[in-house]
């Protein structure tokens, strides 16, 4: 269509189950070749959205368009098998009575691709997913990670217009999940298939995605690149769901924002807020706070004195809780393994206003 942006467009999308609104007025444009994750807690509507994209569920409001063609609308939808999409589920859904080769070849056989071409395409795909030497094995002879690679190969070999993944790594152990995150991203970089990935795991979304849509109670709270979501969250929910943070409540009066024990110029904050006065809340990441044994000479920064009240060693970091001397403010602080403070130790913290993010 003239003027239509290539890719997937969800417009005012909604889905009700009786009186319950699982998805509400959702708008999201996904560019051709882009990898977008739907991230959120259980029950936020992300899987319902994915199933509407796949065609398994019809929307009760709004439309889903692909390259200008309407796939789904309340008035009628194109069936899943005619959408040119592939979907990978939690359970992998590979056939136990077929070898690795036969599983990957299945979609090509349905499309009546010549046998010689099937052999070449499947062998090439198995090399991409590093399963070439296991072509004759059955799923029962494979590890969970290997089975997931087979599912990826089978989904991608047919060259879908859109690849859909529904919590694909949730059945794997922690080490395999970490490995497969990078594997999924590597394959996306190679094939550039438009991809929608559903997960409740922020680490998966951060590693794999070009952009992340954070969902809460059926709505999208923020869509952004992983770094921007972490460093510039727009809402309290996004700030708390993506990583850990400190919320500080204060009051704005004119050009100054005042908090317990300190004040900063509004212009120095990470994001500008609307003019005027009233309540203000900022998010400060534990990694953005520096811990010192002596008072630092930090021009233009907030410096507070107090003591360490709690600590936990996590291997890659120390997690500390710092309380100001008067006890009016408590902050979570992340520090390097070499930065060792005993509980009860007097300390100073240094905060950069440029890493204080006003939120709503």
Q: Average pLDDT over the chain, rounded to whole?
A: 93
Cα 175 → chain centroid:
19
CATH 3.40.50.300 domain locations along the chain: 7-240
Is the Cα torsion angle 356, 354, 312, 327 positive or negative in sign? negative
Give residue-wise pLDDT tens across range 296-331: 987 789 999 999 999 999 999 999 999 999 999 999
pLDDT-derived band of residue 271, with 50, 70 and 90 as boundaries? Answer: confident
**44-47 long-range Cβ contacts below 8 angstroms, 24+ apart:** 44/215, 44/216, 44/217, 44/218, 45/15, 45/215, 45/217, 45/218, 45/219, 46/198, 46/199, 46/200, 46/215, 47/166, 47/167, 47/198
The fold adopted by the segment(s) 244-359 is OB fold (Dihydrolipoamide Acetyltransferase, E2P) (2.40.50)
The whole-number pLDDT of residue 276 equals 67
Give residue-wise pLDDT tens across range 272-295: 776 667 899 999 999 999 999 999
CATH 2.40.50.100 domain locations along the chain: 244-359
Give residue-wise pLDDT tens across range 66-99: 999 999 999 989 999 999 999 998 877 889 999 9
Which of these ranges, 63-67, 251-255, 320-324, has the smallest mean pLDDT? 251-255
Give residue-wise pLDDT tens across range 101-123: 999 999 999 999 999 999 999 99
The whole-number pLDDT of residue 2 equals 41
pLDDT-derived band of residue 41, with 50, 70 and 90 as boundaries? Answer: very high
Task: Report percent pLDDT > 90 for the chain.
Answer: 85
Q: Are 212 and 37 in contact (CB under 8 A)?
A: yes
Q: What is the mean pLDDT of residues 8-14?
A: 97
The whole-number pLDDT of residue 220 equals 98
Classify domain 7-240 at the CATH superfamily level.
P-loop containing nucleotide triphosphate hydrolases (3.40.50.300)
The whole-number pLDDT of residue 270 equals 87
How many whole angstroms separate alpha carbon 108 and alpha carbon 123?
13
How many whole angstroms separate alpha carbon 160 and alpha carbon 169?
21
Strands 219-224 and 262-265: what pairing?
unpaired
pLDDT-derived band of residue 1, with 50, 70 and 90 as boundaries? Answer: very low
Report the side by side order of strands in the sheet with 219-224: 85-88, 162-166, 194-199, 35-39, 211-216, 219-224
pTM over 0.85: yes
Per the listing, tokens 């009233």 go with 278
The whole-number pLDDT of residue 29 equals 97
- Cα–Cα nearest to 123, from 111, 131, 113, 112: 131
Query: Is pLDDT at 160 greater than 80 in this prediction?
Result: yes
């Amino acid at each position: 269509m003239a003027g239509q942006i290539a890719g997937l467009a969800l417009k005012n999308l909604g889905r009700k189950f009786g009186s319950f609104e699982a998805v509400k007025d959702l708008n999201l444009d996904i560019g051709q070749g882009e990898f977008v994750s739907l991230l959120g807690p259980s029950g936020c509507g992300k899987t319902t959205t994915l199933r509407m994209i796949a065609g398994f569920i019809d929307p009760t409001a709004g439309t889903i368009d692909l390259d200008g063609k309407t796939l789904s609308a309340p008035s009628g939808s194109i069936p899943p098998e005619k959408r040119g999409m592939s979907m990978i589920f939690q359970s992998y859904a590979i056939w136990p009575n077929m070898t690795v080769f036969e599983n990957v070849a299945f979609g090509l056989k349905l499309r009546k691709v010549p046998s010689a071409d099937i052999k070449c395409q499947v062998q090439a795909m198995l090399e991409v997913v590093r399963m070439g030497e296991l072509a004759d094995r059955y799923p029962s002879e494979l590890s969970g990670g290997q089975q997931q690679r087979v599912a990826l190969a089978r989904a991608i070999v047919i060259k879908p217009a859109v690849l859909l993944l529904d919590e694909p790594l949730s059945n794997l152990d922690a080490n395999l999940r970490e490995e497969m995150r990078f594997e999924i991203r590597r394959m996306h970089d190679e094939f550039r298939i438009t991809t929608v990935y559903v997960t409740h795991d922020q680490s998966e979304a951060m590693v794999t995605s070009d952009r992340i849509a954070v969902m809460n109670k059926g709505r999208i709270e923020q869509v952004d690149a992983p770094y921007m979501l972490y460093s510039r969250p727009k809402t309290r929910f996004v700030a708390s769901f993506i990583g850990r943070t400190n919320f500080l409540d204060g009051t704005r009066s004119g050009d100054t924002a005042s908090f317990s024990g300190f004040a900063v110029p509004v212009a120095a904050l990470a994001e500008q807020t609307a003019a005027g006065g009233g309540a203000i809340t900022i998010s400060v990441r534990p990694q953005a706070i520096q811990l010192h044994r002596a008072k630092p000479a930090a021009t233009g920064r907030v410096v507070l004195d107090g003591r360490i009240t709690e600590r936990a060693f996590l291997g890659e970091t120390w997690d500390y809780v710092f309380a100001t001397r008067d006890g009016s403010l408590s902050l979570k602080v992340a520090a390097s393994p070499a930065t060792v403070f005993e509980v009860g130790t007097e300390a100073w913290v240094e905060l950069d206003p440029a890493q204080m993010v006003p939120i709503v």
